[in-house]
Amino acid sequence: MTAGSPPTTDAAELRVGDRTLSLPVVRGTEGDDALDISRLRAESGLITLDPGFGNTGAATSAITFLDGEAGVLRYRGYPIEQLAEHSTFLEVAYLLVYGDLPTQEQLNSFVTEVTHHTLIREEMRNFFDSFPTDAHPMAVLASGVVGMSTFYPDSQNIFDADAVEVTINRLIAKVPTLAAWSFKKAVGQPYVYPRNDLGYAPNLLHMMFAVPSEDYEVDPAVAEALDLLLILHADHEQNASTSTVRLVGSTHANLYASISAGISALWGPLHGGANEAVINTLEQIVADGGNLQKWVDKAKDPNDSFRLAGFGHRVYKNFDPRATIIKRAADRVLAATGADDDLFEVAQRLEEVALNDEYFVGRKLYPNVDFYSGLIYRAIGFPKNMYTNCFAIGRLPGWIAQWKEMMSSPETKIGRPRQVYVGTGSRDYVAIEQR
Ligand code: ACO
C-alpha cells in the first residue's frame, strides 16, 4: 500500500491491492492540508491507525493557528505576541468565543455580564466543606464545575442559544470563584466572596489571598502578570484537554460536563499538570545538591521513566512562543514581588544545560509554556497544587470556543474512534469448575 501524490491537487491516490482510491485533500488557510479519509473504510474496509493522534485531524477549525516548526501561535488570526502586549484576558476571551475583537460597547457588555455572575450558589459551600482538607484543587474544581450543572438545569438545553449564552457567562465568571475556594479549602481559611469592583485577575487574587481579618492589596504588576498568563493559556487548538471537551460535548452532554472533563484531562503532568511538576523537579534538584547534569542524564536514561517536565511538545519543534513571553514576564514578576527565587536561576541553568545536550537538541525538546509559568505562580504566592487551576481558568474560553464551534459545525458527529483488535479469537465459555 503506498500513499499517492502530495497535496498539490485536490485529491491524493492510495493503492490498496489492485485498487486505487481517491482521497480528497482538504485545504487549510495556512497550507496545513489534510487527506480526508472519512470514506476510506466504506470504500476499502480499512481504517487508519494513529495512536496518540499525531497525524489525525479531528476537525476543521477557525479558532487557533499554530505552526510548531516556526513557533507561530495566533488566536483568530492575531499573533500571540500582539495579544500579550496589547490585550486583556477578557478581551481575548471574547475574541475566542465570538470570533472577532469586540467594539468598546461589546466589551463593556461582556465584562458586565461576566462580572455579575461571579457569585456561586450558596449551597455550593457544602461541596467545599465536604472535601478532605488535602484534596487536590484540580479535583475540587472539576467537581465544582460539573456540580454547577445541578443548579442550572437550563444548561441541558444545548441547542438553545440564549441558555448557552448564559452558561458561557456563568462559567467564565464563576470558575475563578470555584478555583479560589478550592485553594481556601486546602489552606483552611474562610472562603472570600468575589468583589465586582475589581477586574478579572485582581478579583481572582483577592479571592485567593484576602482573609476576613485582613484585606489583600492587589499589586497591579502582579495582576498584569496573571492576566498575561491567562491570555497565553487561552487556547491551543486540539490539545488533549480541548479534544476531551469536544469528545464529551459531541455526545451532547451539557457544557459544564464537557468543561469538567477538560479540567480532568488538563490535570495530568504530561499536559497542564506540568507546571506543578516543573517546580517539584527544580526543588528536587536543589535538595539533591544542584547537580543539573545528573538530572539531565536521568531524563535521558531509557530505563528511567523520569522526564524533564516543562520540556518537549507534541507540536512545537523549535520553540514555544508562549515560553519566550513567559520567561520575560517571570523576570518582571520576580522584580516586582521582590521574590529572590533561586529556583528561577536553577531553571535558567537547567535550560542552558538541556539546550546544549545532543539528546534534547536531536529530539527538538525545548522549554514549553509550563517551564517558567510555575515560577510566576510561585512568585505571586500560589501553592504548587494551584498552578494547574490557574491554567484551567486561562484555557476556559478556548474550551468554550471549541465546544461552540463543534456544536455549530455540520461536520460534527459523535466522536467515536475505531480500533484494531489484537486479542484472542472467538472461544467457548468454560464452566468455572472446569478451568
Ligand atoms: N524529557 C526527556 N525526554 C523527553 C521529554 C522530556 N521532557 N519529552 C520527550 N522526550 C523524549 C521521549 O522519550 C522520546 O524519546 P525517544 O524518541 O528516544 O523514545 C522523544 O523525546 C519524543 O517524545 P514523545 O514522548 O514521543 O513526544 P510526544 O509528542 O508524544 O510527547 C510531551 C510530548 C508529552 C509534551 C513530552 O515531550 C513530555 O512528556 N514532556 C514533559 C511533560 C510536559 O512538559 N508537558 C507539558 C506540555 S505543554 C502542555 O501540555 C500545556
190-249 pLDDT, tens digit each: 999 999 999 999 999 999 999 999 889 999 999 999 999 999 999 999 999 999 999 999
C-alpha cell at 247: 469528545
Regarding the beta carbon of 312 and ligand 1, being less than 6 Å apart is answered yes
Note the pLDDT tens digit of each residue in 351-382. 999 999 999 999 999 999 999 999 899 999 99
Note the pLDDT tens digit of each residue in 100-137. 999 999 999 999 999 999 999 999 999 999 999 889 99
C-alpha cell at 85: 502586549
CA of 311 from ligand 1 middle (Å) equals 7
Residue 201, amino acid? A
Indicate the average pLDDT of the chain.
93
Which protein residue has the closest C-alpha to ligand 1 atom 27? 314
Note the pLDDT tens digit of each residue in 150-206. 999 999 899 999 999 999 999 999 999 999 999 998 888 999 999 999 999 999 999
341: pLDDT strictly greater than 80: no
HSE at residue 237, side-chain half, CA atoms within 13 A, is 20
2: pLDDT strictly greater than 50: no
pTM: 0.94
- Which stretches within 116-160 are classed as H helix? 124-130, 137-148
Catalytic residue numbers, as ranges? 313, 370
CA of 352 from ligand 1 middle (Å) equals 18
CA of 331 from ligand 1 middle (Å) equals 26
Instruction: Collect contacts of 355-363 with beta carbons under 8 A, ≥24 apart.
Output: 357/296, 357/300, 359/296, 359/299, 359/300, 360/296, 360/311, 363/312
